[in-house]
């Protein structure tokens, strides 16, 4: 092992429960928080799941709001906060992926209502104090302890309905948190352990889920990976990979999880030049001695999209994307140069092997 001789570690008070069917304990968790009036949240396509949840909760569910949307538009948040006031909610139950979790966090930011999150993807937002919001097309990200959910219920039965293609891209989205966590400037021995265990969980269970999407043990293992990877995201700073995905999603409207899935091998290969020792666990888990290539091979085996051109990125926009990604300085193990970022993006656009 490589002992890290200097570090700081902050522990966070969050209650996490795992079990197939654990969503049915939401009522118990509401009472445990000292609450009795929950507003249940979801996206429009998951409205049925939210209604079932409200039924399950019974009298302690006082409303259902099903308009959560990608990147947490503030207009929808305003409507949800008003709804929470109208029904005199004293907590929220967010059931869904990162978009629904984001709405719960946005409500908590404005009202301090406690949150119970029941994730149905692997995005990991439930384990962080980070909130991205959009207003008039501008995305801003804040970190505030007020938005960190109090309770997370990981129910493998709920991710069974996640289509295999979304399962794979969402898993790679989660793995990206762990991969970048390995070389984070403010990493600590615990975040590194969590990142390694999270990557191992996906490496072992994702192929099983792809083969048998209803396998509850494999689904549970991937949710465990999502929790660990999300916790890493919540503990340490991210670098080039997240910056690139933020730019591509925010300025070119590319889909969140797919963008992460495609960019990850390229960003890791780029940084492996400066962080080869930190990235060793990736080679150990996924094979070979080039972590970017190993991740690309894993993604390809899982059937992930490999090219930005497949998900709507225009070749003509690559230069502007490189400008934006290299514009503001931020910490990254390998210095960020605009010409190299363009090379990275060109390979990711075409679906080629990583350029570095
Ligand atoms: P999402 O929540 O937008 O979900 C995508 C679609 O899949 C939605 O229509 C949703 O209803 C549907 N869906 C979700 N789970 C399903 C299931 N089990 N079965 C069937 N359909 C299901 O996607 P996401 O990738 O989970 O989240 C992306 C958002 O989360 C982005 O806005 C991103 O910025 C944010 N995010 C935030 C953080 C953070 O720490 N703040 C971390 C990760 C992601």
pLDDT per residue over 274-292, tens digit each? 999 999 999 999 999 999 9
Residue 125: CB within 6 Å of ligand 1? Answer: yes
Residue 149: CB within 6 Å of ligand 1? Answer: no
pLDDT per residue over 3-57, tens digit each? 899 999 998 889 999 999 999 999 999 999 999 999 999 999 999 999 999 999 9
- Residue 233: HSE in the Cβ half-sphere, 13 Å Cα cutoff: 26
In residues, how long is the chain? 356
Q: What is the pLDDT of residue 137?
A: 75
Among 269, 241, 259, 344, which residue's Cα sits nearest to residue 305? 259
Provide the CA 234 distance to its chain's centre, in angstroms: 10
Number of the ligand 1 atom closest to the C-alpha atom of 105: 41
Cβ atoms < 10 Å from Cβ of 187 = 21
C-alpha 95 – ligand 1 centre gap (Å)? 10
Three-state SS across 288-326? CCCHHHHHHHHHHHCCCCCCHHHHCCCHHHHHHHHHHHH
C-alpha 96 – ligand 1 centre gap (Å)? 7
Ligand 1, atom 29: closest residue by C-alpha:
98
State how far the Cα of 251 lies from the Cα of 138, in Å rounded to an integer. Answer: 9
State how far the Cα of 286 lies from the Cα of 72, in Å rounded to an integer. Answer: 34
C-alpha 6 – ligand 1 centre gap (Å)? 35
CB burial readout 216-231, b (16+ within 10 A) else e:
bebbbbbbbbbbbbbb
What is the number of H-type helices and E-type strands within the chain?
Answer: 14, 8
Number of the ligand 1 atom closest to the C-alpha atom of 100: 2
Number of the ligand 1 atom closest to the C-alpha atom of 46: 11
* Alpha carbon distances (Å) from 345 to 45, 169, 278, 356: 33, 18, 23, 11
Residue 305: CB within 6 Å of ligand 1? Answer: no
Q: What is the pLDDT of residue 79?
A: 98
219: tokens are 């689904």
- The answer to whether 333 and 271 have CB atoms below 8 angstroms apart is yes
Note down pLDDT in tens along the chain; length 356 residues.
788 999 999 988 899 999 999 999 999 999 999 999 999 999 999 999 999 999 999 999 999 999 999 999 999 999 999 999 999 999 999 999 999 999 999 999 999 999 999 999 999 999 999 999 999 878 899 999 999 999 999 999 999 999 999 999 999 999 999 999 999 999 999 999 999 999 999 999 999 999 999 999 999 999 999 999 999 999 999 999 999 999 999 889 999 999 999 999 999 999 999 999 999 999 999 999 999 999 999 999 999 999 999 999 999 999 999 999 999 889 999 999 999 999 999 999 999 999 99
Give the chain's largest Cα–Cα span: 59
Residue 96: CB within 6 Å of ligand 1? Answer: yes
Are β-strands 15-18 and 151-154 bridged in parallel, bridged antiparallel, or unpaired?
Answer: parallel
C-alpha 351 – ligand 1 centre gap (Å)? 24
Radius of gyration of the chain (CA): 20
Ligand 1, atom 28: closest residue by C-alpha:
98
Three-state SS across 97-121? CHHHHHHHHHHHHHHCCCEEEEECC
């Amino acid at each position: 092992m490589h002992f890290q001789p200097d570090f700081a570690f902050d522990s966070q008070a969050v209650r996490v429960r795992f079990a197939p069917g654990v969503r049915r304990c939401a009522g118990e968790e509401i009472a445990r928080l000292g609450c009795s009036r929950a507003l249940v949240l979801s996206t429009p396509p998951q409205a049925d799941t939210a209604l079932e949840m409200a039924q399950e909760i019974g009298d302690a569910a006082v409303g259902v709001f099903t308009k959560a949307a990608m990147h947490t538009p503030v207009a929808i948040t305003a409507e949800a906060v008003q709804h929470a006031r109208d029904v005199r909610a004293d907590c929220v139950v967010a059931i869904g992926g990162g978009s629904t979790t984001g709405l719960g966090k946005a409500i908590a930011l404005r009202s301090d209502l406690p949150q119970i999150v029941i994730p149905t993807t692997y995005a990991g937002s439930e384990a962080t104090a980070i909130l991205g919001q959009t207003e008039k097309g501008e995305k801003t990200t804040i970190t505030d302890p007020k938005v960190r959910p109090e309770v997370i219920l990981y129910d493998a039965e709920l991710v069974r309905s996640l289509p295999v293609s979304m399962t794979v891209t969402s898993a790679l989205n989660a793995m990206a948190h762990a991969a970048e966590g390995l070389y984070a400037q403010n990493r600590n021995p615990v975040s590194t352990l969590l990142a390694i265990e999270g990557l191992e969980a996906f490496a072992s269970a994702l192929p099983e889920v792809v083969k048998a999407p209803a396998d509850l043990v494999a689904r549970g293992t991937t949710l465990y990976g999502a929790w660990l990877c999300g916790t890493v995201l919540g503990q340490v700073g991210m670098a080039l990979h997240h910056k690139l995905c933020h730019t591509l999603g925010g300025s070119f409207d590319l889909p969140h999880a797919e963008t992460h899935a495609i960019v990850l091998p390229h960003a890791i290969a780029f940084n492996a030049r400066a962080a080869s020792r930190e990235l060793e666990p990736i080679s150990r888990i996924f094979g070979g001695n080039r972590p970017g290539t190993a991740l690309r091979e894993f993604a390809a085996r899982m059937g992930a999209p490999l090219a930005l051109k497949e998900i709507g990125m225009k070749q003509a926009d690559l230069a502007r994307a490189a400008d934006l990604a290299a514009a503001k300085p931020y910490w990254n193990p390998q210095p960020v140069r605009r010409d190299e970022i363009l090379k990275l993006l060109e390979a990711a656009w075409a679906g080629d092997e990583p350029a570095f």
